[in-house]
């Protein structure tokens, strides 16, 4: 699961290819235009490498941190079958993090350096994981809607130009289809259950509605565009397009259960575009910059894990070992 | 720290001093190969980082054999694998043109039919 990468104004300004060799750049862009994939050993513009690395690294961190809100409920799953499913899902998310770190490593940054940058706050991860999972119904909503949103994003990104990222995403999407189905199963079970079960589900939907709208990043009119990134197939769809696709696919699946969204303005207009109230983009910025309800806890848990497990790591290390970039 | 997660509340997070990684040391990178069924090819599926081949296999099992069928996994140090440079990709460029290596390049039915027709006419 993952939220889409937000390209800031500063990043768009830094997109500069004037110092690249024009011949190589042309051949590179031709290759992408023909639908060919770029592989780790190939020549690539510095900005392509930088943007992809940042994007895949953020994606990897999101998988690792994303396991924390869900892990909250492993000890208190309502029955054994749900517990098995939740453990399997959380393990998958960590596995996805590993796959993505591997893909990012092929661009020339070590996994250790990426983890370091997560711990020191230099690298970001998806905002949605800075919200708490208050009840079991949150697990249902995360499994169905957060993973549903992630799949929209990941299916689109799997058509990108960088081979290792595409291969990781294909495997991830395959596994996430189980996450989505078990999440839907969980949501339907609560929605068709007792009054209390319906109430906690409605409450969870009310709380996750805004973070879900934030998930795909700021509206297109507020975010920096980079035609280069589109041309290089690093970014494949706009934030608004992905958000609309998500709403189109998932809103009806909640409404059919007679559960509502906390937004009187949520509706599909005659052009097939979903309209909704302003989901407070200031809050989005606050959470990115560390002000969300769980930012501090998420990083504190990661720091604890690094420090408490350090002795194991050190026992395993061979000081003579040199870091080797993976092949593919 | 008071968390909704009872597991987090059990951690003694006050003990954490810097909570940072020491990035000057690394584990070995292993390339992982997966065989789905007896009789099938063993194919590359990804990498793991581990200090020994035994641990690499355990991690590979968790990472690449969590679901579906598996008969075996192989691991090999990335440094032990030799590849062509991607700049040399053109050495394979003319291979698809070598149709004389393909069964499809050998079509004789027309010749046989022509022969039979002419042969009959002769008799």
Query: Taking CA atoms, what residue in B is nearest to A114?
Result: B23
For B15-38, what is the mean pLDDT? 85
Dihedral, CA of residue A59, residue A64, residue A67 and residue A69, to nearest 10:
-80
Do the interacting molecules here have an ipTM over 0.90? Answer: no
The distance of B40 to chain A (nearest Cα, Å) reads 20
Whether residue A293 is contained in a domain is answered as yes
State residue A15's pLDDT score: 76
Burial grade of A57 (CB within 10 A; 0-12, 13-18, 19 or more): buried
State residue B22's pLDDT score: 67
Structure tokens at B115: 């022969």
Q: Report the CATH number that the domain containing residue A20 is assigned in CATH.
A: 1.20.1260.10
Domain boundaries, chain B: 26-122
Query: Distance between CA B116 and CA B121 in Å, rounded?
Result: 9
- Residue ranges of B 1-40 with Cβ closer than 8 A to chain A: 1, 3-8, 11, 13, 15-23, 25-29, 31
Q: Is A4's pLDDT higher than 60?
A: no
CB contact under 8 A, B23 and A116: yes
DSSP A154-213: HHHHTTSSBHHHHHHHHHHHHHHHHHHHHHHHHHHHHHTS-HHHHHHHHHHHHHHHHHHH
The 10s digit of each residue's pLDDT in A15-31 is 778 888 899 999 999 99
B46 CB neighbours in chain A (<8 A) are: 99, 102
Q: Which of B11, B26, B50, B89 has the highest number of chain A CBs within 10 A, making it the mutation to test binding with A?
A: B26
Q: Is B9's pLDDT higher than 90?
A: no
Whether residue A325 is contained in a domain is answered as no
B31 CB neighbours in chain A (<8 A) are: 326-327
Q: Is A269's pLDDT higher than 90?
A: yes
Q: What's the gap between Cα A164 and its chain centre?
A: 17
CB contact under 8 A, A326 and B44: no
For A175-193, what is the mean pLDDT? 96
Measure Cα distances from A170 to A91, A174, B48, B66 in Å.
17, 6, 18, 16
The size of chain B, in residues, is 123
Q: Is A14's pLDDT higher than 60?
A: yes
- Residue A297 contacts residue B4 (beta carbons within 8 Å): no
- Residue B15 contacts residue A307 (beta carbons within 8 Å): yes
B16 CB neighbours in chain A (<8 A) are: 300, 303-304, 307-308
CB contact under 8 A, B23 and A317: no
Measure Cα distances from A305 to A239, A248, A281 in Å.
34, 39, 32
Contact of B51 with chain A, judged by CB distance below 8 Å, is answered with: yes
For A56-69, what is the mean pLDDT? 95
- The CATH number of B26-122 is 3.10.20.520
Q: How many domains does chain A divide into?
A: 1
Which residue segment(s) compose the domain that A181 sits in? 9-316
Structure tokens at A162: 């960088």
The distance of B5 to chain A (nearest Cα, Å) reads 5
DSSP A75-95: GG-SSHHHHHHHHHHHHHHHH
CB contact under 8 A, A68 and B31: no
CB contact under 8 A, B26 and A303: no
């Amino acid at each position: 699961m993952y939220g889409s990468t937000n390209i800031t104004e500063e990043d768009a300004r830094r997109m500069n290819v004037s110092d690249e060799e024009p011949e190589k750049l042309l051949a590179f862009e031709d290759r992408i235009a023909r639908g060919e994939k770029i592989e780790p050993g190939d020549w690539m513009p510095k900005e392509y490498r930088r943007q992809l690395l940042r994007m895949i690294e953020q994606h990897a961190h999101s998988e690792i941190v994303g396991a924390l809100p869900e892990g909250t409920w492993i000890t208190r799953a309502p029955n054994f079958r749900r517990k098995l499913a939740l453990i399997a899902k959380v393990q998958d998310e960590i596995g996805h993090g590993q796959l993505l770190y591997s893909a990012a490593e092929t661009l020339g940054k070590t996994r250790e350096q990426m983890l370091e940058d997560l711990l020191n706050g230099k690298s970001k991860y998806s905002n949605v994981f800075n919200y708490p999972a208050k009840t079991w119904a949150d697990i249902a909503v995360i499994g169905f809607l957060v993973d549903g949103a992630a799949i929209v994003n990941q299916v689109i990104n799997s058509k990108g130009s960088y081979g290792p990222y595409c291969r990781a995403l294909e495997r991830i999407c395959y596994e996430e289809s189980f996450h989505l189905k078990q999440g839907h199963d969980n949501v339907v079970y609560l929605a068709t259950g007792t009054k209390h079960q319906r109430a906690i589900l409605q409450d969870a939907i009310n709380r996750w509605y805004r973070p879900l709208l934030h998930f795909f990043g700021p509206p297109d009119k507020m975010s920096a565009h980079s035609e280069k990134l589109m041309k290089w197939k690093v970014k494949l769809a706009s934030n608004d397009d992905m958000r609309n696709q998500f709403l189109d696919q998932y809103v009806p699946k909640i409404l059919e259960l007679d559960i509502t969204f906390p937004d009187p303005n949520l509706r599909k207009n005659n052009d097939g575009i979903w309209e909704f109230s302003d989901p407070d983009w200031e809050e989005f910025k606050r959470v990115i910059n560390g002000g969300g309800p769980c930012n501090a806890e998420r990083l504190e848990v990661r720091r604890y894990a690094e420090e408490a497990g350090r002795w194991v790591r050190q026992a395993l290390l061979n000081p003579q070992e040199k870091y080797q970039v993976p092949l593919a | 720290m008071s968390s909704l997660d009872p597991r987090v509340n059990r951690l003694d997070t006050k003990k954490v001093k810097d909570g940072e990684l020491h990035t000057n040391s690394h584990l070995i990178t292993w390339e992982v190969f997966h065989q789905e069924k007896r009789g099938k090819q063993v194919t590359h599926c990804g990498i793991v980082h581990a200090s020994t081949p035994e641990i690499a296999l355990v991690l590979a099992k968790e990472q690449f054999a969590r679901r579906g069928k598996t008969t075996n996994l192989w691991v090999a140090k990335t440094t032990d694998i030799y590849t062509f440079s991607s700049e040399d990709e053109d050495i394979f460029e003319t291979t698809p043109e070598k149709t004389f290596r393909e069964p499809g390049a050998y079509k004789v039915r027309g010749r046989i039919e022509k022969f039979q027709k002419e042969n009959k006419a002769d008799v």
